[in-house]
A and B are shown apart, each in its own frame.
Chain A
Amino acid sequence: MKRFEHQWTPDFFLLHVQANNPSGTGGTLEIVRLLENGQRKSEREELKRDADSHRFIISRSHPLEAKVAIEYPSHLILEVYKVDDRAYYPTESFFVL
């Protein structure tokens, strides 16, 4: 498994995430939000088998949310972008693994 972790900063609330599927196998991405008070929330995104990629937006979802982490299968490649506008299609990522 691979892992991406992001500490929220006041200047960006939104991440545009693209999971690429070069092997065509697909997989499940586990998204965990960590709050300063110790609570956490888990979500999943599915990348379907044979799909080229899957894109979704993560928004900071709680005033106490400090970090967000994504764990994903090693055969997928994750690209993450900071965006100011959820409808905007970004081109420069800050994380690729």
Chain B
Amino acid sequence: MALDNNVDILSWTYNDPAVWFEFVMDTAREAKKHGIRSLFKSAFFLSKEAVEQLCEVIDVFAISIKAIDEKYYHKFTKGWLKPVLDNTKIVHSKGIHYEISNLVVTGLTNTTENYDKMIDFILEELSPDIPIHFTRFHPDYKYMNYEKTPMEDVVAARNRALERGLRYAYIGNAFEGESLNSYCPECHEMLIERYGLHTFIKDSLDDFGVCTNCGYQTTINHIDRSLASKNWSEEEEERYEKI
């Protein structure tokens, strides 16, 4: 199906792909033979051995760290924090591309203290080049008593991350605003603009991930301009008709 539809990356998510680990391994391995990449989005509560196996076949990891707080993990996830952090370090040590997301839950983790703990972990144990996404929570299933995370909270988290030295910080489950975009860490030129599920790759980002405004080498890679327009004018010209 992926080959028939020219899919070049499989995204393993919802449910957490840890629950069908063997299927993911078999399929990702087979997909790789055909040039199809795999992305693994997970809470990453796995054994070290499982992560080592995944690293052989997965091209991108999206790691969801709920909070840098052992009590939070025990209370809300029934798991514990240390394996998640250790596994993240394993992926980091292998040079595989990964990004971290933190679900900002109203009433629980929408605090500066939580944001700082996440930022500290990345700065001290990983790298300021690792992208972090502060994602809005929405009420669902058994957690209906809290409101959707206010935009101000995730924007504040993202700004805090940038102020403290992380180079790529974003908000998630949000669909407009500058906090979705990618900027040059050096000169702050916009490199990639996002709106809804649309992406615009600007001329300010060359095919090697270099900012053409100041020459800074970003860590943005696998740039495929065929999947995106440059700007709204181009988008409107190509896809919209006047009536």
Contact = CB atoms under 8 A, between A and B. Distances in A.
A83 to B, nearest CB: 9
Contacts of B195: 61-63
Interface residues of B, number: 21
A60 interface: yes
Given A86-B197, A88-B14, A89-B14, A60 B240 contact: no
Interface string A55-90: 001011111000000000000000000001111110
Contacts of A42: 241
Contact of B198 (A14, A38, A61, A86): A61
**Majority DSSP secondary structure for residues of A touching B:** loop
Contacts of B136: 84
A48 interface: no
A40 B148 contact: no
Contacts of A59: 175, 196-198
B29 interface: no
A39 interface: yes
Interface residues of A, number: 20
Contact of B197 (A40, A41, A61): A61
Interface in B215-243: 232, 235-236, 239-243
Given A13-B196, A61-B196, A84-B136, A38 B242 contact: yes
Of the candidates A42, A84, A86, A87, the one having the most CB atoms from chain B within 10 angstroms of its own CB is: A84
B196 A85 contact: no
Nearest to A10: B176
Contacts of A86: 197
Contacts of B173: 84-85
A40 B175 contact: no
A87 B198 CA distance: 16
Given A41-B240, A84-B148, 9 more contacts: A13-B176, A35-B240, A57-B197, A59-B198, A60-B175, A61-B197, A61-B198, A85-B173, A89-B14
Interface of A: 13-14, 35, 38-42, 57, 59-63, 84-89
- Give the 3 A-B residue pairs with the shortest CB-CB distance, closest first: A13-B175, A84-B138, A59-B196
Interface of B: 13-14, 136, 138, 140, 148, 173, 175-176, 195-198, 232, 235-236, 239-243
